[in-house]
Amino acid sequence: MKYCYGNWKLNTSLKLTCMFSETPELKNVELGIAPSYPFIPIFKETLPSQVKIGAQNCSDKLKGAFTGEVSANMLQELEIDFIILGHSERRHVFLENNEIISEKIQICEKMNIKIIYCIGETLDQRNSQKTNEILKEQLNILNSLKNTIIAYEPVWAINTGVAAKKEDVAEAVKFIKENVKHLGNAKVLYGGSVNSKNCNEFTEICDGFLVGNASLTKEFFDIAKSLDN
């Protein structure tokens, strides 16, 4: 089984439901999207059942006086299929560290919610030959792979239009799988300016994609089809 998930970030619109009127039949690919919180119930009702609906984040708290937060148990009541945790924008814009992300992971694990766990290095870290060190630090907070898929997203390739080189992704995926093999057989996705023109380069070296901008159009389906063989 391969995986193709779309992270819609702060771009969700009800108009986007229209593109799923022609959802392709995929035999070996799980297709999913993560819209903004308010749209989750509507999309659960209107999108084809084969399209998994997830959340882009959750709180590290379950209840209390935390204005603006959305907890994992609230999302579970909405019957979401997965939650994205550790995305680089959460780490670098909202200053979430491994400790906070670890709390979220533990909550989701206890609730049996599928996790898409994002890891990746910045350009400065790569240029300083610290890629493996950073990835290992981010991987060390995992205690199980039972309900977790890892997404390798080099920060310097996100939202830049410049994907990583095939050999760099292959090396990172190999390193990730090797470092968590004591937990089981890891599924590792690639994310970072994935589009219909470059996706074929990566289909054989990863277990799928976490797609950003290209998931907002029908190009998303072309990317998913590239995995379906």
Question: Which residue among the candidates 30, 87, 96, 219 is catalytic per the annotation?
Answer: 87
Q: Which DSSP string corresponds to 81-99?
A: SEEEES-HHHHHTS---HH
What's the token pair of residue 30?
């799980």
Q: Pick from 139, 71, 147, 137: which is nearest to 113 by CA?
A: 147
Specify the length of the chain in residues: 229
Residue 108: count other Cβ atoms within 10 Å of its Cβ.
Answer: 22
The dihedral over CA atoms of 111, 85, 78, 27, expressed in degrees to the nearest 10, equals -100
Residue 153 bears catalytic tag: yes
Cβ atoms within 10 Å, residue 6: 24
The rounded distance, in Å, linking the Cα atoms of 114 and 89 is 20
Query: Active-site residue 92, yes or no?
Result: no
- Catalytic residue of the set 30, 121, 153, 219: 153
Evaluate whether 9 touches 207 at the Cβ level (below 8 Å): no
Active site residues: 87, 153
